[in-house]
Amino acid sequence: MGQPYQRASDGAWCVAIELPGTGAKRRRKVIVRAKKGDVITAAREARKELDRTGDLATASPTLAGWLDGWIERRARTKLKPRTAQDYRSTIELYLKASIGRVRLDKLTPAHVERMHDYVTRELELSSTTALKAHRVLAKALTDAERAGKVSRNVATLLDAPPRAYKPRPALTAAEATTLLRSVADTPAAPRWGVALLAGLRQGEALGLTREAIDLDAGIITVSWQLQRLAWEHGCGNTCGKRAAFCPARTVTIPPDQEATRVHGGLWLTRPKSRTGWRQVPIAEPLANALTWLLEQPAGPHGLVFTETTKAGAVVPVDPSHDSAAWDAACDGAGIANVPLHSARHTCSSLLARLGVPEHIRMQILGHSSATVTRDYTHITTDDARQGMDALGRLLA
DSSP 323-377: HHHHHHHHHHHTS----TTHHHHHHHHHHHHTT--HHHHHHHHT---SS----GG
Q: What is the pTM of this model?
A: 0.72
- Total residue length of the chain: 396
Residue 283 has pLDDT above 80, yes or no: yes
Q: What is the mean pLDDT of the chain?
A: 87
- Reply yes or no on whether the pLDDT at 6 is more than 80: yes
Q: Phi and psi dihedrals of 27, rounded to 5?
A: -125, 135
Statement: residue 67 has pLDDT above 80: yes
Phi, psi of 16 (to 5 degrees): -100, 135
301 conformational bin, left if phi > 0, alpha if psi -120 to 50, beta if neither: left
Helical residues (DSSP H) of the chain, grouped into ranges: 36-53, 63-77, 81-90, 96-99, 109-117, 127-146, 173-182, 189-196, 202-206, 284-294, 319-333, 342-353, 358-365, 382-395
Q: In what order do the strands lie in the sheet with 278-281?
A: 213-214, 219-222, 278-281
Residue 160 backbone phi and psi in degrees, to 5: -75, 150
Between CA 85 and CA 209 the distance in angstroms is 26
Instruction: Report the CATH architecture of 63-157.
Output: Orthogonal Bundle (1.10)
Q: Which of 133-147, 174-188, 221-235, 367-381 shows the lowest per-residue confidence on average (mean pLDDT)?
A: 367-381
CATH number of 173-222+278-395, picked from 3.40.30.10, 1.10.443.10, 3.60.21.10, 3.40.50.300? 1.10.443.10
Higher pLDDT, residue 141 or 371: 141
Confidence of residue 263 (pLDDT cuts 50, 70, 90): very high
Q: Which amino acid is at 233?
A: H
Please give the average per-residue pLDDT across 229-237, as a whole number.
85
Burial of residue 86 (CB within 10 Å: 0-12, 13-18, 19+) is middle
The DSSP string of 225-285 is EEEEPPPB-SSSS-SSS-GGG-TT-B----TTS-EEEEETTEEEE--SSTTTSEEEEPPHH
For position 389, what pLDDT does the model report?
80
Q: According to the model, what pLDDT value does residue 210 have?
A: 93
User: CA Rg, the chain, in Å?
Assistant: 26
Cβ proximity of 41 and 160 under 8 Å = no
**Measuring CA to CA, how many Å separate 219 from each of 132, 281, 368, 370, 396?**
35, 5, 20, 27, 18
Assess contact for 120 and 161: CB atoms under 8 A: yes
CA 372 to chain centre: 20
Pair type for strands 259-263 and 314-316? unpaired
Q: How far apart are the first and last CA of the chain?
A: 77
Distance of CA 9 to the CA centre of its chain: 39
Q: How far is CA 50 from the centre of its chain?
A: 39
